[in-house]
Amino acid sequence: MDFFFNPRGIALIGATPNPQKGGHAILRNLRIGFKGGIYPVNPSYAEIEGMSCYPSIIDVPDPVDLGIIFVPAPLVPQVVQDCARRQIPGVMIESGGFAETGESGAILQEAIKSIAKETGIRVWGPNCMGLVDTVKGHIFSFATPMMWDYGLKKGNVSMIVQSGMLSGVFLIDVMTHGVTGVSKVCSIGNKADINECDILEYLLSDNQTESVCLYLESIEDGRRLFRLWKNSPKPIILLKGGKSKKGASAAMSHTASLSVNNSVLRGAMAQAGVFEATGFRHMLDLGRTLARYPKSATKSPGKIAVLTYSGGAGIVSSDFMDSLGLEPAELSRSTLYQLKTITPEWMPLSNPVDLWPAVERNGARKAFGTAMRAVCSDPGVDGVLFHAFSGGFALNPDMAEIVRISKSAGKPLFCWLLGEREAARDFQERTQDLGVPVFRDLHRAVECMAAVFRKKSAVLKISEPHQSDKTPLSNILENMLTDKVGLLDEHLSKQILSAYGIPTVIEKVVIDEKEALIVSAEMGFPVVMKGLLPGQAHKTDAGLVCMGIQTEKDVSDAFAFLDNKMSESKTGGKIIVQRQLPESIEMIAGLIRDPQFGNCVMCGFGGILAEIIGDSQFAVAPIDLSEALDLINRLKNQKLLDGFRSFPAVNRQELANILVRLGQIGMDYPQIKEIDINPLLKGDKGLMAVDALIVL
């Protein structure tokens, strides 16, 4: 991939002297920032602005590692072919007119894909704005060359974006406002070949990148992306465009993106420790914060000291912390003692610390410095939220000193800033240059602080867990999985689950009324009797389930009823007798094949709770026990698992074990399309599958 980021020479196919055209902007941008050879290609010109212009890529002298293509879409396949013949390792196609425009564009895009596959040339784009690298001074993009005049602000956040806006006008906005600098911004467009995974992999080992922000409208290879996320040593932030139905349909026409199952995506993100952004600025704010504090979350909730000059802002900070999972730290006696030395006698001391009276008495430097030293040496304080104002008041703390104290104590510092426009930008840039994130909105400051202190149980696991040594299934089951297609009935499905160690309810197939009577007597009443018909997934709706069987007569009646029903259908089938478990919290668990993320386990509340609270969570399989427990704890109403009313608690460990095993089955038998356990109920030996279905 390095030839995209550090080419020795670049050929620009579609260079033009017309300043209204993108081909001119790209050339200008290359000439301003790129140090290697630049070779304009355009058969209409012999030279452009004093540079030799070549009729074709074939004529361009060495070395050329990258071709940037900006010619009309129909011409692009030939150009790519030529570049491949010319042994150029990569091209960046910035022209539009491909899959995003409909049928004929999609054919052109397919043609390019084929060329890439056949020749090995790597293709970035089409329909993209290429690359901006502020550190190297590379703008491989038709973004306005005025960006250079505005100033490229260097930073350590990189972005991979499926929208040119984010690598152009948005950058101009955030850089000129002093919000943050960035490192590399990669606009990947339609992703005909190079996709987010390729670039993410590159950025994760890039020295100039400390965090990566992703704006994606589609996900190309969910499993690879998930693996990269999970093994990433750097914080990753994702904004997914097209989460809503209307948004997804707009995404379809923007970058020809297929829709993504958001529940699965959310599960995968939580599992891999990826941060979810809710908007463009939020994405970058999280990115710049986490680039600064990638590994600060040792405790949750984080206990924060708030140093403020405004009682009201302190109160609202407390409210925000409360709603975002942080807590104001309880200050130690020693800290309060130190604060006493700068505050007036009458002042009640608490956290948030209102330093206004202290500033009035001691000046800002002494007041803020003393307070900062006090809270940073307090073992009960995990981080500091510093309120600052710039411009006009005696409120200018010595920020270098404040930052030094925070760093030497190892306590992350976050700054919320209000101020007169010029003074505030100056303050923000100076403070951020010292390495401390500054926010202009208080809620955003607390949001970003909360991300730093978010529990990160799933991050930094290096390998995929649970490599299955061998299948635990009998030959009969094994063969069945190989031969059958469609639904396995409840009884067979549970045999497979059981072989994998998932507890299932006691049940038996019975062939006649007599056996039904014997079996139910052995099991003890009440029992359930069910008729299993091939291909029938909805037994209850089909009247094939008899619950609450209490007497021998009930057994006989039920057998006759089911036998009759089943003979109607003429497809054969079997009748089973099952132990009926007492009422308890109904859980559901399962396995699905997600188009993007593949094999995923699911867990949620079943029965009436499902209707009332509709609460389920996903994780990408395989999972280990701690991931399964994490998944369970992500259920919004997971506290119900502790039991309520007459319902006993659900053992999380047992449930987690079942989820681990479901994931394992999915890994071992790729032919299984879906497993659905509904419900899981508490039996005398713990949680067990009462009904289940496997789809092949």
Q: Under rule CB under 8 A, which residues in 415-434 are in contact with a second copy?
A: 418-422, 424-425
Q: How far apart are CA 666 and CA 661, in angstroms?
A: 9
> Letter for the amino acid at 687?
L
CA 685 to chain centre: 37
Q: Which of 251, 272, 385, 660 binds a second copy (CB under 8 A)?
A: 251
Q: Which residues contact 616 (CB under 8 A, 6 or more apart)?
A: 263, 588, 602, 603, 604, 605, 610, 635
Q: Between 55 and 392, name the residue whose CB sits nearer to a second copy.
A: 392
Q: Which of 75, 315, 517, 625 binds a second copy (CB under 8 A)?
A: 315
Q: Between 50 and 312, name the residue whose CB sits nearer to a second copy.
A: 312
Within 275-395, residue ranges assigned H as helices are: 280-292, 311-323, 333-340, 356-362, 364-376
φ, ψ (nearest 5 deg) of residue 12: -110, 100
**Residues contacting a second copy: total by CB under 8 A:** 95
CA 88 to chain centre: 34
Q: Which of 644, 649, 670, 671 binds a second copy (CB under 8 A)?
A: 644
Q: Between 87 and 244, name the residue whose CB sits nearer to a second copy.
A: 244
State the nearest-atom distance from the C-beta of 584 to a second copy, in Å. 14
Determine if 369 is a binding residue for a second copy (CB under 8 A).
no
> Which residue in 457, 498, 427 sits closest to 626, CA to CA?
457
Q: Between 97 and 465, name the residue whose CB sits nearer to a second copy.
A: 97
State the nearest-atom distance from the C-beta of 193 to a second copy, in Å. 21
Annotate each residue in 174-213 with x if it binds a second copy (CB under 8 A) or - if it does not, as one string: --xx------------------------------------
> Letter for the amino acid at 528?
V
Contact 268, 595 (CB under 8 A): no
State the nearest-atom distance from the C-beta of 359 to a second copy, in Å. 12
Determine if 253 is a binding residue for a second copy (CB under 8 A).
yes
Near a second copy in 121-160, by CB under 8 A:
144, 146-147, 150
State the nearest-atom distance from the C-beta of 35 to a second copy, in Å. 24
CB burial of 160-182 (b: ≥16 within 10 Å; e: otherwise) equals: bbbbbebbbebbbebbeebbbbb
Contact 378, 334 (CB under 8 A): yes
Q: Which of 244, 334, 408, 671 binds a second copy (CB under 8 A)?
A: 244
Q: Which of 18, 207, 246, 538 binds a second copy (CB under 8 A)?
A: 246
Determine if 59 is a binding residue for a second copy (CB under 8 A).
no
Residue appearing with tokens 């020795």: 8
Q: Between 20 and 463, name the residue whose CB sits nearer to a second copy.
A: 20
State the nearest-atom distance from the C-beta of 438 to a second copy, in Å. 13
Q: How far apart are CA 678 and CA 380, in angstroms?
A: 46
Near a second copy in 604-633, by CB under 8 A:
608-609, 611-613
Determine if 245 is a binding residue for a second copy (CB under 8 A).
yes
Beta-strand ranges (E) seen in 51-209 are: 51-52, 66-69, 90-93, 122-124, 130-133, 138-140, 157-161, 184-187
Q: Between 127 and 296, name the residue whose CB sits nearer to a second copy.
A: 127
Q: How far apart are CA 382 and CA 297, in angstroms?
A: 9
Q: Which of 318, 428, 504, 536 binds a second copy (CB under 8 A)?
A: 318
State the nearest-atom distance from the C-beta of 583 to a second copy, in Å. 12
Strand partners, 10: 38, 66
Determine if 279 is a binding residue for a second copy (CB under 8 A).
yes
Q: How far apart are CA 31 and CA 342, in angstroms?
A: 58
Determine if 170 is a binding residue for a second copy (CB under 8 A).
yes
Q: Which residues contact 22 (CB under 8 A, 6 or more apart)?
A: 14, 70, 94, 142
* Maximum Cα–Cα distance across the chain: 101
Determine if 247 is a binding residue for a second copy (CB under 8 A).
yes
Q: Which of 46, 107, 169, 400 binds a second copy (CB under 8 A)?
A: 169
Determine if 313 is a binding residue for a second copy (CB under 8 A).
yes
Q: Between 67 and 314, name the residue whose CB sits nearer to a second copy.
A: 314
Q: Between 32 and 316, name the residue whose CB sits nearer to a second copy.
A: 316
Q: Which two tokens stand for residue 456?
A: 């990160």
> Which residue in 450, 195, 424 sits closest to 300, CA to CA?
450
Determine if 365 is a binding residue for a second copy (CB under 8 A).
no
* Burial zone of 543 (CB within 10 Å; 0-12 exposed, 13-18 middle, 19+ buried): exposed
C-alpha distances (whole Å) from 334 to each of 232, 327, 328, 351 are 40, 20, 17, 14
Q: Which of 9, 33, 235, 328 binds a second copy (CB under 8 A)?
A: 328
Residue appearing with tokens 């559901």: 588
Annotate each residue in 334-363 with x if it binds a second copy (CB under 8 A) or - if it does not, as one string: ------------xxx-x-x-x--x------
Q: Is the peptide bond before 7 cis (omega within 30 degrees of 0)?
A: no
Q: Between 81 and 134, name the residue whose CB sits nearer to a second copy.
A: 134
Near a second copy in 82-121, by CB under 8 A:
96-97, 100-102, 104-105
State the nearest-atom distance from the C-beta of 323 to a second copy, in Å. 7
State the nearest-atom distance from the C-beta of 139 to a second copy, in Å. 13
Q: How far apart are CA 142 and CA 137, in angstroms?
A: 15
Determine if 683 is a binding residue for a second copy (CB under 8 A).
no
Q: Between 155 and 242, name the residue whose CB sits nearer to a second copy.
A: 242
* Burial zone of 92 (CB within 10 Å; 0-12 exposed, 13-18 middle, 19+ buried): buried
Residue 686: which H helix or E strand, with range?
Answer: strand 686-689
Contact 388, 375 (CB under 8 A): no
Q: Which of 136, 184, 230, 282 binds a second copy (CB under 8 A)?
A: 282
Contact 675, 692 (CB under 8 A): yes
Q: Which of 320, 368, 386, 618 binds a second copy (CB under 8 A)?
A: 320
Near a second copy in 662-681, by CB under 8 A:
none
Q: Between 155 and 168, name the residue whose CB sits nearer to a second copy.
A: 168
State the nearest-atom distance from the C-beta of 317 to a second copy, in Å. 8
Determine if 50 is a binding residue for a second copy (CB under 8 A).
no
Q: Which two tokens stand for residue 314?
A: 């302190």
Q: Which residues contact 545 (CB under 8 A, 6 or more apart)?
A: 528, 529, 530, 531, 539
Contact 632, 474 (CB under 8 A): no
Near a second copy in 476-495, by CB under 8 A:
none
State the nearest-atom distance from the C-beta of 333 to a second copy, in Å. 18
Q: Which two tokens stand for residue 591?
A: 């396995």
Q: Between 238 and 533, name the residue whose CB sits nearer to a second copy.
A: 238
Annotate each residue in 1-40 with x if it binds a second copy (CB under 8 A) or - if it does not, as one string: -------------------x--------------------
Which listed range, 304-312, 450-458, 488-496, 659-667, lies at the site for a second copy (CB under 8 A)?
Answer: 304-312
